[in-house]
Structure 1
Amino acid sequence: MKIASSAKMSEKHQNELRETYPDLHFSFFSSMEEVMSKAGDLEVLLTYGDDLSDERLSRMPRLKWIQVLSAGLDKMPLEALEKRNILVTNARGIHGIPMSEYTLGVMLYHVRRFGIVYEHQKERVWDRSIRVDELEGKRLGIIGAGAIGTEIARKARLFGMEVIGLSKSGTPLPEYDRVVNREGLPQLLAESDFVVLVAPLTPETYKMMGEKEFREMKREAVFINIARGALVDEKALVKALEEKWIAACYLDVFTEEPLPPDHPFWGLPNCWITPHMSGLSPRYMERALRIFTYNLTRYLNGEYGEMKNRIHFTKGY
């Protein structure tokens, strides 16, 4: 069996895979262009999911399984994969720790006014009149009550926050004080002091946060997007920030990445930007390969139904 990876991987991880599965043939590359030289006889592919096209897929006639080493699938040729009945699994769940820490980090940054404090430090100003706040007693709305959202909820409640989650079904979950379905979105927005967007990108969620939704939020509320830029109508968000419909936002993802230098977000004083880094961690590959090796063992045993994070093509996740 021939397995190739288009994701850059350390020699340590490469050697561990070869030692664990000595009978399998692994090829490790740093790009999908390099993978194409071995494409004809590949059975298994590891990828981050943003480098596979219909054309490239057509050059892999023996491909049976793709392990995506990330959670996002919005750039995958899902229609072609479904047509060929290729098994796809992803790394859903590995982002819970870093992305929840990012979310708690920006909320703490906001309420403790660390940005203002640092600006004063640069000017050597000692000012104890800064009006700080607490997370205790605040309400957090999480749009997307999946693995990442649930880890955010768990940590937020340790800080004494009340947490409302939104999922497709609205089924109650123990980590949340309440869970609503899509019809409950206006209520979640109206009640929340912080709103974090962490839903998957699907046709149903595309630009789900637009002018109507931002107007439904509290004027003192903070919006955080760690999902995908395309879930947000960015023009509406710019207007919401300029006209103070909401107090501030923290954005880690954008419709166009890298964010163009002339984009209005850069110049807004109530907008904080990070370069799609909320999921980064020195343990990322370790966690992703843990899912891959679990799945690989089951794949070799023909236990396809036991593989983790199998993708439902009709749902897109």
Structure 2
Amino acid sequence: MKVLFTFNIKEEQLKRLETEFADVEFSFTKKIEEVPLDNYEVIVTYGEDISTAVLDRASSLKWIMVASAGVEKMPLDEIAEKGIIMSNVRGIHKTPMAESVLAHILSLGRALPTMREHQLKKEWNKKARQTELRGATAIILGPGAIGSEIGRLLQAFGVHTIGCNSSGDRVPNMDETIPFEKLKDVLPKGDIVISVLPSTPKTKGMLDGSYFEAMKDSALFMNFGRGDLVKESTLLHALKHDEIGHAVLDVFEKEPLPAESELWELGNVTISPHVSSHSGKYVERALEFFTVNLSKWREGDRELVNLIDLEQGY
């Protein structure tokens, strides 16, 4: 059995794989377009290098292991047509992303950016406005693995958490859960509105201007899911017309964010260059998913952890 990685792993990580799976041949490349693919049954990838041309060349491919959560840039229809199974590492981002979200909330609430500005000016100024998290209400769009972990951390600070998903079914670490149809009804309660939604046909452009009009004018809006949830023009209008208080954006409609974007210049925006999921433990955690699934695969078990519904896109 042959497995191709399209990214490198550490030497000790490879040795562990070779020890545990002595009958598997592991290969590595960063230029998949230059490698003969006929004999590879499994490809492990971050996803963006899988094209229809790659699929046409990979005649033996049965399983694509995506070492990321988002798969919206992959040719899902073609993968489904060829009967290829696909899994991802959904949940791998929950720790670094939840910590990133909390870091931004605490930083803004305790006025750390303002204090830094005063420091650069060598200015002893005690007038920075600071707030507390306790007693606040956070609305979390997409309370899955990441959203649930954000909710757990916020609840530890005394924050009331409201999860918003397609079903309205209760989920861990949410004091309440509502369906998307009721989102506008609860937005006026939210001191913090956090999106960790994936990109799907249903979520693209979902937040139009009416949602921002429904938010508190002091609300902190945070997008850590996908940038196509809201158009940049909609965000700019909400920020420039004080429909919300501040936005922390880790994802954008167009990435990298163009230098000419007005978002760079607004004082009530914090820009993070899509790095909230970064962690020195990323590959290590991805390999944990892979080894569990590779064991199942070798035993003929195709009910892999984090199987992707290719029609739904997640």
Structures share fold, TM-score greater than 0.5:
yes
Report the residue type matching 1:313 in the other structure: L
Alignment of 1:35-114 (within 5 A): 36-114=34-112
Deviation at 1:19, TM superposition (A): 2.2
Task: Give me the identity figure in percent.
Answer: 39
Report the residue type matching 2:161 in the other structure: V
Residue 118 of structure 1 is matched in structure 2 by 116
Matched, 1:315 2:303: no
Aligned residues of 2:193 and 2:219 also touching (Cα < 8 A): yes
Matched, 1:161 2:165: no
What is the distance in 2 between the residues matched to 1:255 and 1:53?
Answer: 22
Residue 22 of structure 2 is matched in structure 1 by 22
What is the distance in 1 between the residues matched to 2:32 and 2:275?
Answer: 22
What is the distance in 1 between the residues matched to 2:7 and 2:164?
Answer: 33
* Inter-CA distance 8–232: structure 2 relative to 1 (3 Å threshold): farther
Which of 244, 248, 252 pairs up with 2:246?
Answer: 248
Deviation at 1:247, TM superposition (A): 0.6
Report the residue type matching 1:308 in the other structure: V
In the alignment, structure 1 segments of 5+ residues that lack a partner are: none
Bigger shift: residues 148-157 or 122-131: 122-131
Report the residue type matching 1:238 in the other structure: L
Aligned residues of 1:211 and 1:233 also touching (Cα < 8 A): no
Task: Report the number of matched residues.
Answer: 314
What is the distance in 1 between the residues matched to 2:291 and 2:71?
Answer: 20
Deviation at 1:39, TM superposition (A): 1.2
The one-character-per-residue Cα deviations of 1:158-202 (angstroms, maximum 9, x if unpaired) are 010000001111111241110001111112322111111101110
What is the distance in 1 between the residues matched to 2:214 and 2:12?
Answer: 50
Which of 129, 140, 144 pairs up with 2:138?
Answer: 140
Deviation at 1:23, TM superposition (A): 1.2
The one-character-per-residue Cα deviations of 1:259-306 (angstroms, maximum 9, x if unpaired) are 11111111111111111110011111111100000000000001112x
Which of 203, 226, 233 pairs up with 1:235?
Answer: 233
TM-score norm. by structure 1 comes to 0.96
What is the distance in 2 between the residues matched to 1:272 and 1:254?
Answer: 12
Aligned residues of 2:148 and 2:172 also touching (Cα < 8 A): no
Report the residue type matching 1:206 in the other structure: K
What is the distance in 1 between the residues matched to 2:49 and 2:252?
Answer: 18
In the alignment, structure 2 segments of 5+ residues that lack a partner are: none
Q: CA RMSD in A?
A: 1.1
Deviation at 1:133, TM superposition (A): 0.4
Residue 193 of structure 2 is matched in structure 1 by 195
Bigger shift: residues 281-290 or 251-260: 251-260
Which of 261, 278, 285 pairs up with 1:263?
Answer: 261
Residue 10 of structure 2 is matched in structure 1 by 10
Matched, 1:218 2:216: yes
Report the residue type matching 2:4 in the other structure: A
The one-character-per-residue Cα deviations of 1:43-84 (angstroms, maximum 9, x if unpaired) are 100011112111221111110000100000111111001111
Any idea what SS the aligned residue of 2:308 has?
Answer: coil
